[in-house]
A and B are shown apart, each in its own frame.
Chain A
Amino acid sequence: MMKRLAVCLMLAGPLLAPAQAATAADSKSEGEKLYMEMNRVLTHPRCLNCHPAGDSPKQGDSARFHVPPMTRGPKDSGPPGMHCAACHQSSNYAASGVPGAPNWHLAPLSMAWENKTPGEICRQILDRRRNGNKSLTEIVKHLTEDELVAWGWNPGTDVARRVREPVPIAKPEFNRIVHAWAKAGAVCPQ
């Protein structure tokens, strides 16, 4: 009898005091909630269009294929002879309606987010084999400080002088959420 009880306790895993268990559950659900807020930004066309599943960037709110036809090339910055910078300068250019930011390029294929669930994107972001060998600190810095990422909040005007829709959630609030998510253990949804 005692032996069976011991096996049951081992299978149940380490026991937590009720207060500790509640805190861990809260932290997990809080972390997931924070990530789901971040995910609204990451999956907005301003971000997702340059994290495509294939070799071609997308354009616009409907994520249509890039015109002119464009491919990622060997370094994710366009094929030899036609780099992204052939058209995209270091800042938006209203005269042509072409968006711009420093180091305009596609995310590598290992960071393709298109057609992925929030949990899959979250785990991808944290996986050093796929995220460019970035630590959590470096990921937070990338999300909160990178100039190309920040373009999503300042996407300029298109050829018809219409203001492009920025990503949801104001930048300071997004940065606060990212820091809070990392502090809460960088929890990912299922």
Chain B
Amino acid sequence: MITLDVNGKKYEIDVDPDMPLLWAIRDGIGLTGTKYGCGIAMCGACTVHVDGMATRSCSMPVSAAVGRRITTIENVGSSRAGKAVQSAWEKLDVVQCGYCQSGQIMSAAALLAEKPKPSDADIDAAMAGNVCRCATYVRIRAAIKQAARSTV
């Protein structure tokens, strides 16, 4: 059995220690907001926070997540930066198909937690690993700026 701290709750799950954290979260715990996109850390859809840092859950074995604080899209709104990002996303109607947006929001929240007033270049650099097939990039950048203003 593996014990994980996800969104402030302890979960005991019976999974292979080498399983990607993504599948432990989705199938082991049942939190399906975190999405599978590519499985090779290229698209960012599976982004969660591990000890507050944006992390591709498809590229971390669940054994490496033991003893660490994991936050998923289901609970990102409990942090100031996460709440601001979610509100800005709603106000600017960022989402189109939505598949990548959980990962986008997790990356944006991690950026603002670390750099509350990011420049355009900071946003581009931090979000470069999150791809969107609907190309909502312009609204994503605007929403991050709006979230940054609201948290100052």
Contacts and interface: CB of A to CB of B under 8 A. Distances in A.
Contacts of B108: 81
**Chain A interface residue bracket vs B:** 20 to 34
B128 interface: yes
A145 B114 CA distance: 32
**Chain B interface residue bracket vs A:** 20 to 34
Contacts of A69: 128-129
B66 interface: no
A168 interface: no
Contacts of B107: 81-82
A88 B114 CA distance: 19
A81 B61 contact: no
A50 B56 CA distance: 21
Interface string B45-58: 00100000111101
Contacts of B40: 96-98, 159
A188 to B, nearest CB: 36
A104 to B, nearest CB: 12
Nearest to A72: B125
Contacts of B47: 86
B86 to A, nearest CB: 16
B64 A71 contact: no
A87 interface: yes
B82 interface: no
Contact of A93 (B54, B59, B128): B59
A90 B58 contact: no
Interface in A86-111: 86-90, 93, 95-98
Contacts of A68: 42, 44, 128-129, 131
Contacts of B127: 81-82
Contacts of A71: 125, 128
B152 to A, nearest CB: 16
Contacts of B58: 95-96
Contact of B122 (A80, A83, A98, A159): A80
16 contacts: A68-B44, A69-B128, A69-B129, A73-B125, A80-B111, A81-B108, A81-B112, A81-B114, A82-B110, A85-B55, A86-B129, A87-B59, A89-B61, A93-B60, A96-B41, A159-B40
Interface of A: 67-71, 73, 79-83, 85-90, 93, 95-98, 159
Given A81-B110, A82-B54, A98-B41, 20 more contacts: A67-B42, A68-B129, A71-B128, A79-B126, A80-B115, A80-B122, A81-B122, A83-B54, A86-B41, A87-B55, A89-B59, A89-B64, A93-B61, A95-B20, A95-B61, A96-B20, A96-B41, A96-B59, A97-B40, A98-B59
